[in-house]
């Protein structure tokens, strides 16, 4: 990273590359003579967003479509890819760690063709950055087309995350290592709410009332909870929108405060209390069913001190309508009125 004359990256809007609003700079053409070995590129970022590098071309990949480790047969059919990447800020500090390189390790093209593969992506703040690239095998040429990209809306990572891994991510993998896989979880609109390594599994239930079970995770750092569904035991993190079952569950306006906006966020706001209990990791999942037979699932959580339960009334799409807290007397009244046997709920409090 000691080059005295780095090449200046000039971004332009890419109307056909990966995502309509991603800005990218074409820094390498498919050519048997072009060399991008030891090239350094200066990138001036004027707003926060995601900085990344992707490759387009025939890469040295294994049968599972993952980029092989450096020195392990990187080339295929005489084609080369970039394997060595550094990125530093204007003070010379490396902004990447080992988890940032080859962050998605997947072919972008959902058909499985060798199209575009992520070398790295990193959230950055405004400033000047330097990106240095090398060929996979240190040769003097590259047969890949390479791009440096920047997305100010932070959905570049989302566009990548929406493309399933070629081998698929199993529910068992997500449950065993939520800190690894739950960074791909998004809300209904596809927003990344951050703190992806802080998700914790608390149970499984039929959240939507459709007969399919979802796994339930909570994230104390952001005060949110999420559901993860499966198809053939495979998790598709892009299934967060309409009809989906893998998303961060939304928030709601307490219906008792609908006409009292001045009281929202106050001590009697159930949404505020719910979110606070999530932040202090104070909820233990109990069960879910349509206990009052109104067509919507009731999800029950017990507070850590055992003094009350939280009832979350869900929409059929798995998002929340609202929630309320019930004391032991409240719970007894609700369940008895709906003819639910105490053998189901009697031990909750």
Burial class of 131 by CB neighbour count within 10 A (0 to 12, 13 to 18, 19+): buried
Segments of the chain assigned E as strands: 7-8, 12-13, 23-28, 39-45, 49-56, 82-89, 116-124, 127-135, 145-151, 169-170, 200-205, 214-219, 224-228, 234-235, 247-248, 283-289, 298-303, 309-314, 320-326
Could you tell me the pLDDT band of residue 117, with boundaries at 50, 70 and 90? Answer: low
DSSP H helices, the chain, are: 156-161, 171-176, 178-181, 270-279, 328-337, 342-345
pLDDT (0 to 100) of residue 144: 55
Burial of 176 (0-12, 13-18, 19+ CB in 10 A): exposed
Q: Give me the phi and psi of 72, to 5 degrees please.
A: -115, 70
Q: Kindly report, residue by residue over 195-241, the tens digit of the pLDDT.
A: 888 999 999 999 999 999 999 999 999 999 999 999 877 898 888 88
Estimate to the nearest angstrom the gap between the alpha carbon of 264 and the chain centroid: 29
- Reply yes or no on whether the pLDDT at 326 is more than 80: yes
**Residue 304 has what pLDDT?**
94
- Higher pLDDT pick, 346 / 274: 346
- Of 75-79, 135-139, 157-161, 184-188, give the lowest mean pLDDT range: 75-79
pLDDT winner (highest mean) among 178-182, 321-325, 339-343: 339-343
pLDDT digits (tens, 9 = 90+) for 252-306: 766 655 655 555 555 557 778 888 899 999 999 999 999 999 999 999 999 999 9
Residue ranges of domains in the chain:
7-151, 166-207+219-250, 251-348
Of the two residues 321 and 300, the one the predictor is more confident about is 300
DSSP class of residue 104 equals S
Quickly list DSSP for 37-50: TTEEEEEEE-S-EE
pLDDT at 103: 41
CATH 2.60.40, domain 7-151, yes or no: no
**CA-CA distance, 107 to 317, in Å (whole number)?**
30
What is the topology classification, in CATH, of domain 251-348?
Answer: Viral Envelope Glycoprotein; domain 2 (3.30.67)
**pLDDT class for 87, splitting at 50, 70, 90?**
confident
Give the C-alpha separation, 155 to 202, whole Å: 28
pTM for the model: 0.54
């Amino acid at each position: 990273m000691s080059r005295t004359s780095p090449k200046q990256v000039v971004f332009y809007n890419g109307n056909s590359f990966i995502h309509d609003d991603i800005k990218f700079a074409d820094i390498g053409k498919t050519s048997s003579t072009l060399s991008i070995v030891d090239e350094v590129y200066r990138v001036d970022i004027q707003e926060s967003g995601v900085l990344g590098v992707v490759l387009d071309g025939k890469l040295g990949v294994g049968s599972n479509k993952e980029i092989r480790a450096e020195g392990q047969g990187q080339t295929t059919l005489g084609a080369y890819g970039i394997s060595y990447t550094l990125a530093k800020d204007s003070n010379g500090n490396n902004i990447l760690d080992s988890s940032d390189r080859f962050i998605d390790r997947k072919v972008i093209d959902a058909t499985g063709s060798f199209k575009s593969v992520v070398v790295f992506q990193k959230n950055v703040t405004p400033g000047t950055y330097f990106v240095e690239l090398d060929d996979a095998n240190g040769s003097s040429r590259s047969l890949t087309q390479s791009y440096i990209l920047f997305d100010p809306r932070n959905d570049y990572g989302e566009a990548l995350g929406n493309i399933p891994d070629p081998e698929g991510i199993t529910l068992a993998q997500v449950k065993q290592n939520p800190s690894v896989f739950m960074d791909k979880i998004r809300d209904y609109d596809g927003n990344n709410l951050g703190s992806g390594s802080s998700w914790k599994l608390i149970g499984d239930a039929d959240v939507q009332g459709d007969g399919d079970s979802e796994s339930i995770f909570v994230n104390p750092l952001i005060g949110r909870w999420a559901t993860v569904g499966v198809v053939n035991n495979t998790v598709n993190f892009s299934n967060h929108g309409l009809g989906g079952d893998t998303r961060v569950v939304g928030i709601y306006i307490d219906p008792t405060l609908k006409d009292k906006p001045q009281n929202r966020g106050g001590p009697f706001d159930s949404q505020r209390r719910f979110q606070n209990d999530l932040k202090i990791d104070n909820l233990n999942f109990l069960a879910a069913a349509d206990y009052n037979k109104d067509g919507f699932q009731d999800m029950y959580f017990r507070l850590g001190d055992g003094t009350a339960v939280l009832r979350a009334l869900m929409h059929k799409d798995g998002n929340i309508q609202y929630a309320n807290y019930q004391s032991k007397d409240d719970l007894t009244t609700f369940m008895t009125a709906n003819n639910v046997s105490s053998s189901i709920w009697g031990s909750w409090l």
